[in-house]
Amino acid sequence: MVFAISGQANPCGNAAGGDSVASTGNTEAYVELGIMNIKEGKWDNFLPAVQHNIINSRNEPGNMAFSLYQPENGKPQALWFEKFENKAAHKKHKEQPYFKVAMKAIEESLEGEIISILLKEVEEIPSTIPVFAAEPATTRNIIVLFDVKPERRQDFIKAIAEVSPHSRQAMGNLGFNIYQYADDPNKFALLEGWESEAAHEAHLAQGYSKKLNAALDGLFVTNPMDARWLVKDISQ
């Protein structure tokens, strides 16, 4: 099986499928992936406030990426990814009025608890700047969480490191980044994005993707397909 994840919109992105995406590998970066379930009837209250926060947050000097996603099946669930240059930049972000408005809307709309995962760079595979999607609604995005057997950690990193350049240079790719959990060296989150479902399917058919499937066999504590989201970009 192949696992793909979503790219974050960035106005400085290059043309999709190119090889000039700059590395943003930054061990000081504040990186967070989150999941929220929204109460029935509260989606229309939640969404505008959070989108407004994201639009403004992307313009903050310390912001590197900020995107919001919803499962393609329409489930009232929101997943977000944000990356700031450091903790200080993120702290300043939380002081902004649009952040406070968004948090109020979230508190009023939230079903259950927020799942928040702090991430950090994988030094062997520095992240790159995802390409801005001209039409986010038509992109194909996937988020996958991996729980790797401790003794197979280096095998996993090697496999992802080998496939990353091919994926990033593939036609229609918007981003292909792997992050490690900040509190667990054996857990990872992969974020991958494509211009369209067709571009993603073409990527899966390539030899490097099939090689990755074989390399990943037997590496996991749990099945990654149980922690995989096919999502649409609803950042704006």
Q: Between the CA of residue 9 and those of 2, 13, 212, what are the distances in Å?
A: 23, 8, 26
**Domains of the chain (ranges plus CATH)?**
30-233 (3.30.70.100)
Q: Per-block average pLDDT, block size 10, for the chain (236 residues)?
A: 36 39 69 97 97 97 95 96 97 98 97 97 93 85 96 97 96 96 98 94 95 96 95 92
pLDDT score, position 27: 78
pLDDT score, position 22: 52
pLDDT score, position 128: 92
